[in-house]
Amino acid sequence: MERNSGPLSGVKVIDLSRALAGPYATMMLADAGAEVIKVERPGKGDDSRGWGPPFVGGPGAEESTYFLSVNRSKKSVVLDFKDPKDLQELKELICGADVLVENFRPGVMERIGLGEAELEALNPRLVVLSITGFGEGGPEGHKPGFDQIVQGEAGLMSITGLPDGPPIKVGVPIADILAGMFGAFGVSSALMERERSGRGQRVQTSLLASVVAIHTFQGTRWLVAGEVPERTGNRHPTIAPYGAYECADGVINIAVGSEGIWQRFAPLVGLDPNDERFATNGDRVRGVKELEEAMAPALKSAGVDEWMERLGEAGVPAGRVRTLDQVYASPQLEHLKLIDEVDHPTLGRIRLPGSPLQYGRSGRRAASAPPLLGQHTEEELGRLAGGTESKKTT
């Protein structure tokens, strides 16, 4: 596919965000074909450029693998918002854009003269995405948003971990990622609405709102049933057996998600599927400890490979617990094109996690390497000045 393919080809995004939530949103927009201009601070750039180790590259040219993970297919422009000339150039960039993304604390955009009213005056068709930690206004709207803090505040850690252990965070910055995903969805929806109204609008989301939005059945356990969810480790709180189980040489995930699957699974572990103790899913959830004790001897009698074969033949959903090196060696990832190989200006050929989306008609944009700090400053600002002006790049 061509470099500018994708359903958002022709959409221009000015990205003032840093760290993860905003950059994740703009990476999704870039993957869909949008042109993303990442505006960074002189000298340091995005905070995540300094997050490590690991860093890769030679002395004086080290790159953070954290930064590389969420900034593919973007351009980097350096501007100092305290410099009136640079601020004016930013405003000129905004005038020619379709989308602006920022994740400053509430009030920062107003202080630099880019509040909602000023942005609408500059560009009435502009879609603005604002991502905060705890939302705007209210008793906690002023609080800074860091992923693990929000995972705790939004209840996610209270339902993650072993029953007799401490609350545990998810192994990736899920609050940031979710806010970025919801933000990208909001931008795409607003761009669609603009086709009807001819006007842009402001889209708001937060780390807090995004985590609450994915509570799903755990949220309704409290809101509807009045039951406060607790940590269940690798067990599913409402389906059994469904979890991670020890075999002779490792751990396997098994999901008995229906009564039909139970009828096929029970004989494999020496159980009568009509045993009155375990006859229905409700019975199995209530008696999960007794059920797992009854399953254990059979599961431990054979290794993961043998159990994967037995369960597969019986039509019982199961999977291995892989390390990331095993995941990225998977032929299925290669088939789905989930690894992008790109040429980086200083690192050479590198591999990055790829977009999970495929577009049948408009194509999938070919990824490009995350930018060096200020790599595209002269190119982008030279266009504003008719190609005659040069700018600093660090």
Catalytic residue set = 176
At 5, the amino acid letter reads S
DSSP 161: S
Residues 180, 172: Cα–Cα separation, whole Å: 13
Phi first, then psi, for residue 350 (nearest 5°) are: -130, 160
Angle at 78 between CA 390 and CA 189, to 5 degrees: 120
- In DSSP terms, which residues pair with 77 in a beta bridge? 39
CA distances from 308 to 45, 220, 294, 320, 325 (A): 47, 34, 19, 8, 20
Single-letter amino acid, residue 19: A
Residue 291's nearest CA partner among 239, 241, 234, 231 is 241
DSSP secondary structure letters along 190-212: HHHHHHHHS---EEEEEHHHHHH
> Residue 250: which region, alpha, beta or left (left: phi > 0; alpha: psi -120 to 50)?
left
